[in-house]
Amino acid sequence: MSFKLKTILLFLGISLIPYILTMLILGTSYYKEQHESIIREMDMQIHLTVERVDQSLESLHKDMAFMAKSDSMNDIYTRDLDHRIANTLLAKKMDMNLVGDFFVFDSNAIVIASSNFSFIGKKITLKPFFKVPIYSNLTQQKIGELAVNYPIENFKHFFYNTPDRQYFIRYKDGRNELRLANFPDSLEVVTTLKSNPNLSIVLEEEKGFAFKLLYKYERWFLILLIAGGIFISIAAYFVATLLVRPIIKLSSVAKKVTKTQDYTQQVEIHRDDEIGQLSYAFNSMIDGMNHALGEITALNQEIEDTQREVVFTMGSIGESRSKETGNHVKRVAEYSKLLALYYGLDENEAEMLRQASPMHDIGKVAIPDAVLNKPGRFDEHERRIMDTHAALGYEMLKHSARPLLLMAATVANEHHEKWDGSGYPRGLSGENINIHGRITALADVFDALGSDRIYKKAWDDEKIFTLFREERGRHFDPTLVDIFFDHLEEFLIIRDRLKDHEG
């Protein structure tokens, strides 16, 4: 993973994680608060309702206690002949809009008076909602009971029901009554009536309705969270990129330098901080490297030049003893390079051969003068001595590690080998002879035949060409002979250019 990507991810992480955590914490605490406040609001509502109901029931109870003390209750003695009590009860019932009835019982549970006249005189058993004893203010004894029958319907007008919230009654045993709607998912708060602990009022709210505000906020909260997250991500990305840019610049220049090996490259970062310092140091380093490299290259070049010169000089030395002019060495070198190029060797190898082939006769320095400079024909003994110059040259050069000198060693060793294997020192044939040797052999013979020597005069060109044709495939590599004849002109040009000067 790249540094840039790592930095960006790190920044994102550092900024998003706390943000998300905070938002979540805020969100949950807000949610809880809302939930609590919804429950509180419902509690308040139900307490108000319960208070109203309790107050109403209490005042009913008080009213009944008051009625029980009134003088008209004395009419119990007259069995309410004149229906004074009954009318009072009826008036009270009308006044209260009561669904239900008041009853005055005597000690035998017979109805003396009631707001429903049809009950008067009958014996009924009733489980009253409230009952109050009636005491005679003449005898101070209990002479009856005032009771009220208060059906659940009466609670209806306290309940302000809407489609989303409803009130209903719950008995102590858990039974519900007056529950009109069935909410599948709802919140409930329950409060028991003070005036009748067997009854409780329940406020039920549809969850969707109760939480509607909360749900709305929830949606907004999510949108905000995501928007915030995106914003933070973008900001983090840009900040990270901004921070990373100089580093990237630095690294890209370094990469370019490595790739192109162009040490003139510089990083363009101009800052005062550590990154600026780093880039300044980087530039200085590259500059230094560039200089050093330049010097090394120059030095290298010098070494190569020196090496070339030395080799050339060494080749010249080899030829100097045999009284051949230095140009023979140059011509052979050139012929070798040309042949190499046309044979298919690459420029470097051909150039190396040009530098190496002049040393083919280096071994001659170890040949005694008497043999080397004998004007006439060699005898067998002298021939054998003369022929050792190839192996001797090889021996001289084979210890070097330098490729040029190793090539020169091979050339020295194999420039007298013949295609048909009749050469010396090893009698190699065909392609066993190193191509460098084969090339040098042809080049050397061409130049020897075309130059004056101590033991002979220069041949005519026709004679030379006839020999070459004859020796094609015998002395010389047939391919090389073909190349020679194909590019004869060029060879002749070289010979002419590098002609020996008289004197």
Partner 1 sequence: MKPLLFLISCSLVLFGSEFSVIVSKKLPFSTLSTQYIRDLYLLKRHSVGNIRIIPINLVGQDESRSIFESTVLQMDRNRLNDYWVKQHFQGVTPPLTQPSFESIKAFVQNVEGAMGYLPSSMVDANVKVIYEF
Partner 2 sequence: MTIQKVGLILGLIVVLQADPYALGHGVQVDKALNVGGYFSTEFSVQGGEKTLAFEDLAIMAYGDVNPMFSYMTEFESIGFYQKNLTNGIETSHRQFHAERAYGDVWLSDAYNIRFGKQITPIGYWNREPINVLRDMSSNPLYCSLLFPKFLTGIDINGYIPRVEGMTYHLFGQKNPDLDDEYVNIRNKHFFGLSVEKELSTEYSSGGSIGEYITLTEQRTRFLQLNAKYDDVKWQFMSEVLLAKSYYSSGDIDITFTGYAQGMFRYSAENAILGRYEHFKDHHVGREDNIAIVGYSYRPSYPISLKGEYQLHSLDNENRALFSFSVLF
Closest approach of partner 1 to the CB of residue 81, in Å: 5
d(Cα 76, Cα 335) in Å, to the nearest integer? 161
Binding residues for partner 1 restricted to 83-112, rule: CB under 8 A: 84
Between 1 and 138, name the residue whose CB sits nearer to partner 2.
Answer: 138
- Using a 10 angstrom Cβ sphere, with 0-12 exposed, 13-18 middle and 19 or more buried, the burial of residue 331 is buried
Using CB under 8 A as the binding rule, whether residue 77 contacts partner 1 is answered as yes
Between 67 and 267, name the residue whose CB sits nearer to partner 1.
Answer: 67
Q: 233 CB contacts (<8 Å, ≥6 apart)?
A: 12, 15, 16
**Whether the Cβ atoms of residue 133 and residue 147 lie closer than 8 Å to each other:** no
Between 77 and 209, name the residue whose CB sits nearer to partner 2.
Answer: 77
Binding residues for partner 2 restricted to 118-157, rule: CB under 8 A: 137-140
Using CB under 8 A as the binding rule, whether residue 71 contacts partner 2 is answered as yes
Using CB under 8 A as the binding rule, whether residue 71 contacts partner 1 is answered as yes
Region from 35-43, 69-77, 188-196, 304-312 binding partner 1, contact rule CB under 8 A: 69-77
Closest approach of partner 2 to the CB of residue 137, in Å: 5
Element (H, E) at 495: helix 488-497
d(Cα 119, Cα 83) in Å, to the nearest integer? 13
d(Cα 6, Cα 3) in Å, to the nearest integer? 5
d(Cα 223, Cα 217) in Å, to the nearest integer? 10
**Whether the Cβ atoms of residue 406 and residue 400 lie closer than 8 Å to each other:** yes
Element (H, E) at 439: helix 435-449
Question: Which of the following is catalytic: 194, 364, 374, 463?
Answer: 364
Using CB under 8 A as the binding rule, whether residue 82 contacts partner 1 is answered as yes
d(Cα 242, Cα 247) in Å, to the nearest integer? 10
Strand pairing of 199-206 and 165-171?
antiparallel
Asked about 364 being catalytic, the answer comes back as yes
Instruction: Draw the binding track, 124-153, toward partner 1 (x: CB under 8 A; -: no contact).
Output: ------------x-xx--------------
Region from 69-77, 150-158, 412-420, 471-479 binding partner 2, contact rule CB under 8 A: 69-77
Region from 18-26, 67-75, 287-295, 313-321 binding partner 2, contact rule CB under 8 A: 67-75
Closest approach of partner 2 to the CB of residue 206, in Å: 42
**Binding residue (CB under 8 A) for partner 2 from 3, 66, 231, 238:** 66
Between 58 and 461, name the residue whose CB sits nearer to partner 2.
Answer: 58
Helix (H, G, I), strand (E, B) or coil at 272: coil
Q: Which DSSP state fits 123? A: B
Between 71 and 173, name the residue whose CB sits nearer to partner 2.
Answer: 71
**Binding residue (CB under 8 A) for partner 1 from 74, 161, 320, 434:** 74
Region from 12-20, 67-75, 342-350, 494-502 binding partner 1, contact rule CB under 8 A: 67-75
**Binding residue (CB under 8 A) for partner 1 from 1, 81, 242, 401:** 81
Region from 64-72, 235-243, 313-321, 351-359 binding partner 2, contact rule CB under 8 A: 64-72
Using CB under 8 A as the binding rule, whether residue 70 contacts partner 2 is answered as yes
- Using a 10 angstrom Cβ sphere, with 0-12 exposed, 13-18 middle and 19 or more buried, the burial of residue 339 is buried
Strand-pairing partners, residue 190, are 202
Place of tokens 């209260």: 96
Contacts 24+ apart (CB under 8 A), 202-206: 202/46, 202/167, 202/168, 202/169, 202/170, 202/176, 203/42, 203/45, 203/46, 203/49, 203/165, 203/166, 203/167, 204/165, 204/166, 204/167, 204/168, 204/179, 205/42, 205/164, 205/165, 206/164, 206/165
Using CB under 8 A as the binding rule, whether residue 69 contacts partner 2 is answered as yes
| Residue 125, phi then psi, degrees to nearest 5 | -105, 135
For residue 220, the partner it binds in partner 1, partner 2, none, with Cβ less than 5 to 8 A by kind, is none
Residues that bind partner 1 (CB under 8 A): 71, 74-75, 77-79, 81-82, 84, 136, 138-139
Residues that bind partner 2 (CB under 8 A): 66, 69-71, 137-140
Q: What residues act catalytically? A: 364
